[in-house]
Each structure stands twice: as C-alpha cells, then as structure tokens.
C-alpha cells in the first residue's frame, strides 16, 4: 500500500497530473502549520551553537535529491583538507528514538540506512538522534571542529554556518506546489537565502533546470558509477562487465528511475523491481525474483541486506563529482568559520 501511495503521489507531483481538489485545499493549512513551526524553531534557537561550523545539506522537496552522495563527498573533502568532520542525522525510518553513535556494524533498523551508509563509506563519527541539537553538542564536546547535518534545512532551531540545498536535476521541483498538492516543503523563494545550490545532474548537461527561479546561481554535481560489489562476498567488478547482461534491478529509494537509467546507460538490460523508499528488506522480497538473474541494487538498499545471505547479489557504488573551484571556496569558508569559533 505504501508503494502504491508513493507511486500515486509521484504521478501527481512530477508527471504534470493535476492534483486533486482536496490536496490543493490542504496547502493553506500546511503553510500555516509550517509558518508556526518555523517561528517556534527560531524562538528556541540553540544560541550556544551559533559560532560553530555546522553545514546543513538538505533540499526543498520530499524524497531523495542526492543529499547522501554529496554528504559522503564532503566528508572526504574536509578530511583531506585537515578538518575533523562528523555527521548528525535523525535516521529517517529507524525503529528507535535514542541517540546512538553509528558504527559500520550497526543495525540499520536502529540507526537508519543512510547514516549507516555514511559511516561505512566515510569512516567519520555519525550520530543519530531525535534531537540534532543534542547530537551536535555531543560531537563538538568531543573535539570535532565541523559537523555536517544530513537534512535539516527546515529545522531552524539548529544554527548553521553554511546551507547547501540539493536539487534533483531530473525531476526539479515537480509541479512547483507546496505539500500535499506538490513536493515542496518550502516556497522556492527559500533558494534566495541558502548559501549554495547544487544541481544533481540533468539531461542534457547544459539544460536549464526545471523550476529553478531566475537569478539563482547553482553548481552541477555529477554522479559516476564505475564498480559493483558483491553482497556477502569479497568480490568487486567494473560496472561495464555487466554490459549486455539482463539483471533484476532492485531499488527502494525515492527516485528509482534515476538508478535504473544509470544501469541502462551502462548497457545493462534491466528488469525493474521497485520498493518503497527506506523499505525494510526481507528474504521474501528476493524469493519472487528470477533465480537465473543477478540482482543489482543501490548501496543504500544493500546496507539492509548484508545479513540476508543473498546469492549473486551486487550493489553499485557511486561517487559525486563537483567543480574543484567550488570545493576550494567551500573549504575556505569553513576554515574561516572554524578559526573564528
């Protein structure tokens, strides 16, 4: 039922299908509640974190836009530049509300799939908790000089030195309407106040981003996938080695079409298997797949499947690439903030 609801909303939000009247009527109510919530956040802003180097990586729309690969890339970038970065997250979809430090062997049900993926890929401390404020305080108390917030653009109670808004270059802002008639959490005018707008790819590369207001400066992020890794075995292949093969492609993410397109660009014949975003995978999900086909999934889905003892199952590792000039500018901004704090 959840998958059907997500599919229906995506049809309304991103495929130019007019939203039903009852969704349009709920938009003013959403605006009112959101405005009240933002005023409450600003009134209770954590003043003790105002001078700290907190970088929020978020978006304006519901669902994935490319935050996780960007955040992983930034962790590696700041580590290489001599910072001691750490990550905070609420751990969307996890079955626990306690504050937890995420390790590479953590249970994804307790910490969330994206925080676990970040911890495994980056080797930096990741703390999940219902309060981003408490998580940030914990990390700064331990001596880390830079904290990256996974999402939280709308959580104004958390002070931030730098805001980065990620935009899905394929889907843009959909129909441009606020929730629930559209995918927007905030009005597009919010882009005028963030520090950086990052567009996660588009086709073609020089296309004007759909819905991006005039005058908003942005930089482009490209996602590259070159290797696949086996689940449960110490094997890796180049993605090109699957060229010409037919595979069962599994995706429990917000925009599965992006993943399927990535595989097809590598000349892989794809049989699509779509699951809800943040789906909790079980053995039964794979028993219905053809036994003679290899299974390829996203890395975010794979962290939830490591204990399932799947055979001939693989995940795609992706890397984010951004302009070096922008990276150097971001490092200078962060260094200035850290030195002043």
Map tokens 């998958």 to a residue.
3
Rounded to whole angstroms, how far apart are CA atoms 23 and 27? Answer: 7
Q: At CA 301, angle to CA 300 and CA 304, rounded to 5?
A: 105
Q: How far apart are CA 247 and CA 17, in angstroms?
A: 31
- Strand 126-128, strand 85-89: pairing: parallel
Bridge-based pairing state of the strands 85-89 and 146-150: parallel
Instruction: Determine the pLDDT at residue 211.
Output: 67
Distance of CA 133 to the CA centre of its chain: 20
Asked if residue 315 lies in contact with residue 296, where contact means CB atoms within 8 angstroms, the answer is yes
pLDDT computed for residue 204 by the predictor: 44
> For 238-241, which contacts have Cβ atoms below 8 Å and span 24 or more sequence positions?
239/266, 239/268, 239/316, 240/266
| pLDDT score at 275 | 92
At 228, which helix (H) or strand (E)?
strand 219-230
Check residue 309 and give its pLDDT. 85
> How far apart are alpha carbons 11 and 45 in whole angstroms?
37
Rounded Cα distance, 263 and 273, in Å: 13
Q: What is the 3-state secondary structure (H, E, C) of 299-340?
A: HHHHCCCCCCCCCCEEEEEEEEECCHHHHHHHHHHHHHHHHH
Instruction: Quote the crossing angle between the two packed helices 113-122 and 67-80, to the nearest 10°.
Output: 30
Q: Which of 158, 14, 183, 28 is nearest to 89 (CA)?
A: 158
DSSP-assigned beta bridge partners for residue 242: none
* Number of other CB atoms surrounding residue 101 within 10 Å: 17
Per the DSSP assignment, residues forming a β-bridge with 298 are 316
C-alpha span between 47 and 49 (Å, rounded): 5
Q: Is 41 helix (H, G, I), strand (E, B) or coil?
A: helix
> In this structure, are residues 275 and 253 in contact, taking their beta carbons and an 8 Å threshold?
no
Could you tell me the pTM of the whole model? 0.93
pLDDT of residue 42: 87
Helical packing angle, 324-340 and 67-80, nearest 10°:
70
Concatenating the DSSP letter of every residue in 58-112 gives: E-SBSS-SSHHHHHHHHHHHHHHTT--EEEEE--TT-S--S-EEE-TT--HHHH-
Peptide bond into 204 cis (omega under 30): yes
DSSP 8-class letter at 231: S
Tell me which residue has tokens 């799939």.
113
Tokens 């999900």 belong to which residue?
A: 285
CB atoms within 10 A of CB 149: 24
Rg from Cα positions in the chain: 20
Give, for all 341 residues of the chain, the pLDDT tens digit: 666 777 788 888 987 778 999 999 999 999 999 999 999 988 889 999 999 999 999 999 998 789 999 999 999 999 999 999 999 999 988 888 899 999 998 999 999 999 999 999 999 999 999 999 999 999 999 999 999 999 999 999 999 999 999 999 888 999 999 999 999 999 999 999 999 999 998 654 444 555 678 888 899 999 999 899 999 878 999 999 999 999 999 999 988 988 999 999 999 999 999 998 889 999 999 998 988 899 999 999 999 999 898 989 999 999 999 999 999 999 999 999 998 87
**Do residues 286 and 311 lie in contact, with contact meaning Cβ atoms separated by under 8 Å?**
no
């Amino acid at each position: 039922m959840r998958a059907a609801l997500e599919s229906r909303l995506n049809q309304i939000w991103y495929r130019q299908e007019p939203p039903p009247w009852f969704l349009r009527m709920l938009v003013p109510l959403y605006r009112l509640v959101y405005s009240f919530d933002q005023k409450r956040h600003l009134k209770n802003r954590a003043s003790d974190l105002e001078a700290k180097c907190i970088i929020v990586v978020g978006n304006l729309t519901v669902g994935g836009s490319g935050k996780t690969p960007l955040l992983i890339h930034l962790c590696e970038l700041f580590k290489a530049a001599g910072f001691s970065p750490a990550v905070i997250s609420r751990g969307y979809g996890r079955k626990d509300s306690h504050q937890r430090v995420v390790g590479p062997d953590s249970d994804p049900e307790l910490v969330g799939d994206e925080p676990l993926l970040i911890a495994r890929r980056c080797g930096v401390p990741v703390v999940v908790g219902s309060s981003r404020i408490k998580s940030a305080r914990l990390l700064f108390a331990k001596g880390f000089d830079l904290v990256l917030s996974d999402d939280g653009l709308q959580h104004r109670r958390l002070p931030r030195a730098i805001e980065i808004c990620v935009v899905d270059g394929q889907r843009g802002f959909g129909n441009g309407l606020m929730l629930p008639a559209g995918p927007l959490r905030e009005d597009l005018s919010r882009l005028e106040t963030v520090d950086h707008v990052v567009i996660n790819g588009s086709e073609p590369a020089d296309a004007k981003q759909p819905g991006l207001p005039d005058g908003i400066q942005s930089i482009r992020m490209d996602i590259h996938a070159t290797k696949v890794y086996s689940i449960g075995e110490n094997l890796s292949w180049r993605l090109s080695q699957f060229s010409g093969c037919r595979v069962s492609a599994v995706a429990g993410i917000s925009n599965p079409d992006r993943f399927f397109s990535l595989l097809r660009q590598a000349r892989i014949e794809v049989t699509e298997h779509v699951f809800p975003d943040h789906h909790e995978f079980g053995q039964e999900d794979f028993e219905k797949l053809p036994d003679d086909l290899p299974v390829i999934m996203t890395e975010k889905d794979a962290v939830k499947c490591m204990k399932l003892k799947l055979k001939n199952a693989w995940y795609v590792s992706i890397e984010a690439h951004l302009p070096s000039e922008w990276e150097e500018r971001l490092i200078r901004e962060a260094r200035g903030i850290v030195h002043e704090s």
